[in-house]
Structure 1
Amino acid sequence: MQKRILIVDDEPAIREMVAFALRKGDYEPAHAGDARQAHESISEKVPDLILLDWMLPGTSGLDLARRLRRESLTRDVPIIMLTARGEEDDRVGGLEAGVDDYVVKPFSARELLARIRAVMRRSRDDDEDGSVSIGALRIDGAAHRVFAGDDPVQIGPTEYRLLHFFMTHPERVYSRSQLLDHVWGGNVYVEERTVDVHIRRLRKTLEPAGLEGMVQTVRGAGYRFSASL
């Protein structure tokens, strides 16, 4: 079955160009010109991935990404941001809003499809992960859910992968480059600062349960996950 990809962009020409590339890559494209149309499309059928333009009328792509991450239907749907903003702070802002990757305009169809395949592959690998427990934290791999004690933890897909890797490799220090290789994949071109962004988001996710101290910074070396808070 073809994977459905929702293109959210207010420029019809760009939507058509991206849709053409998606059909060439054997994906099923869906279209939305703004946040309202995006929600209507999602309510009809939840996509397997969302391509989201940064600049949208009414609600920005960043605000929409944050909203999608809060909603149960789309919390685990991968998001790739399409943006003309190439500055590091802008890219980090997108990551902090909950997107999984970004593609800077102008981009080639080949690059876009490569990014989509990489994000899809990481998402698919998540489903194959098993369950693991350390201290009060538990990952139910079959349900793709995280629990602190008996309470569910709302977590984004990248933070889920990062937490799962940490919990299956506890008490060991990993550098940023090692985490990029293990969690994002060695063939994905992502800056090392991306790791810091998602570490902060993971700690913020665990903070309500008082477990953020399990993700520890080892100065000059990297990060470690430990049951010792």
Structure 2
Amino acid sequence: MRISELSRRSGVPMATIKYYRREGLLPEGRALNPTAVEYGEEHVQRLRLIRSLIQLGGLSVARTREVLDVVDRPLDAFETLGVVHHALPVPSAETNGKSGEDGPGAESAADEAVPGGAAARVEALIETMGWRISDASPHRPALAESLAALSRLGTDYTADDLVPYAQLATSTADLDFAQFEGIEDRIALAERAVVLTVLFEPVVRLLRRLAQEDANHRRHDRRACGRGEHPEE
């Protein structure tokens, strides 16, 4: 297919396709003659992943290039998912879902020096759960930062307090990874990881909000019944 059809199939403007090509994100097509280039299905798939990383994942072009360089290597699914997972922006209480130079690491470094601080609680939780978490994981300091922010508001969660939530998170993660079964193509795997982590995360949060609303109604009904009232159905 020519670049015009590639643009139509992928939904990416031709100017953007040329930009991605110049930046080394999109491989060159097959030259038909000095002025015509042919592209294939692999370019459509590659553009979908690029858009997922940049538009959904919020990665810079430079960071996207790094992720794509890794995806292009002959890695197994475990390594591919690990790279994508660590590359995506890390949500935290301080940054409201956006990462930055003064993000999770800066706060947790200061907090780690406090006896019984947030970083220590995170490590205790990981040990209690028996989780295998990389020392380089950006999610360790991000969780510590969020716990530290809660502490500054006078709300402290101990590692034991967090265990039931961590158990639910483990069940959710198992459901997530069940969706990777049978996907052998690394690009498709990386794209699926971005979709699950970025797009599906708000769905999980909203399901929790709906469940909280239902729990509030059930709690109200129990109290009403205790007072001899008859709550409306």
Larger RCO of the pair (alpha carbons < 8 Å, separation 6+): 2
Higher helix content, 1 or 2: 2
Higher strand content, 1 or 2: 1
Question: TM-score w.r.t. structure 1 length?
Answer: 0.29
